[in-house]
Amino acid sequence: MLERLNEALEHIEGHLDQQIEMTELARIAVTSEYHFRRMFSALAGLPLSEYIRRRRLTVAGADVLAGRHTLLDIAVRYGYSSGEAFARAFRAVHGIGPGEARRTGAALRSQPRMSFRLIIEGNSSMEYRIVEKDEFQVVGAKARVPLVHAGMNPAIVEFVRGIAPETLRRLEELSDQEPRGIVSVSDDLAENRAEGTELDYYHGVVTGADAPADFAALTVPAGTWAVFESSGEFPLTLQLIWRDVFTQWFPSNPYRSRPGPEILRTRLSPDAARADAELWIPVERTGA
């Protein structure tokens, strides 16, 4: 899988001055567009679209400093419709406009080319199981919140604190299947999963029952799920489990992610310093 991802990166490098089609990158990587974007952002630490933008403007920066072409010619070459649009993008990456950079010979920022390697540490194993589930509902309280990659998500913390104990009790009574009890559910995330983009967050339960009128409901079609278990420091263990799934488990197993909600069941220690986590990710076999 990593070899194919690196072939897709080579394609990007060869087409920085052309339109780069996500369908072609997914074809080279022999996976779906959805999974390719998910894998890239997990491995690289930034969205695919942002990496392409930075690489384009890194190469464009060299052309600006070389002075062999007009700024408008460079803008058009790298896909910008006007000199003004190019200047805005250039300044966002380099901290200086292209005209000033050319006049002063300013030092510019560079986004290095990426390649991926799988490092096998051999000192830990990841516990997982594959589960087939019929159609079910996520029922609970719902909020639209920003995505936060590291640390606690303040919007989610505030939202959950505002849910009355009686509401949680009513929800728990609806739980009738795995994962049991109160769960956190993330759905409708932005395709690039960039920091600050929004998602639908449900604090609720997985159930086959109809949702009461005062609760939000999300119908989830039947499908295959990979279920991962982890224990450790809270909230670090919750963030590491997501990282390890995409950087270690997917590259080593014949599955890829598919569209659908991600479900996290968390049980905290009495002092809230540690957590037992169970993460449900919708997957499909690759046929490999």
What distance, in Å, lies between the first and last C-alpha atoms of the chain? 10
Residue 121: is its pLDDT beyond 50? no
Task: Please give the residue that has the higher pLDDT: either 153 or 214.
Answer: 214
Please provide the CATH number assigned to the domain covering 2-104. Answer: 1.10.10.60
Residue pointed to by tokens 């080279």: 28
Residue 240: is its pLDDT beyond 90? no
- Mean residue pLDDT of the chain comes to 88
Once rounded to an integer, what is the mean pLDDT over residues 256-285? 92
> In whole angstroms, what is the distance from residue 277 CA to residue 227 CA?
10
Which CB contacts under 8 angstroms, 24+ apart, belong to 100-105? 101/61, 101/64, 101/65, 102/64, 102/65, 102/67, 102/71, 105/65
pLDDT band at 122 (very low <50, low <70, confident <90, very high): very low
Min mean pLDDT across 137-151, 175-189, 210-224 is at 137-151
Q: Please list, in sequence order, all residues whose beta carbon lies within 8 angstroms of the beta carbon of residue 118, skipping any fewer than 6 positions away.
A: 2, 248, 251, 252
3-class secondary-structure state, position 10: helix
Once rounded to an integer, what is the mean pLDDT over residues 84-100? 93
pLDDT at site 279:
94
Residue 120: is its pLDDT beyond 50? no
Min mean pLDDT across 121-130, 171-180, 204-213, 264-273 is at 121-130
pLDDT at site 60:
94
3-class secondary-structure state, position 124: coil
φ, ψ (nearest 5 deg) of residue 175: -65, 120
Min mean pLDDT across 158-162, 252-256, 281-285 is at 252-256
pLDDT at site 116:
77
Which tokens in the block code for residue 196? 């600050």
Element spanning 63, H or E: helix 48-66
Min mean pLDDT across 15-24, 36-45, 113-122, 209-218 is at 113-122
Which tokens in the block code for residue 249? 């488990």
pLDDT band at 124 (very low <50, low <70, confident <90, very high): very low
Q: Whole-prediction pTM value?
A: 0.71
pLDDT at site 287:
65
**Left (φ > 0), alpha (ψ -120 to 50) or beta: where does 5 sit?**
alpha
Report percent pLDDT > 70 for the chain. Answer: 94
DSSP character for 210?
Answer: P
Is 127-285 a CATH 3.40.630.40 domain?
no
pLDDT at site 286:
84
Domain boundaries, the chain: 2-104, 127-285
pLDDT at site 119:
52
CB-based burial of residue 97 (10 Å sphere; 0-12 exposed, 13-18 middle, 19+ buried)? middle
> Are the beta carbons of 149 and 238 closer than 8 angstroms?
no
Residue 230: is its pLDDT beyond 90? no
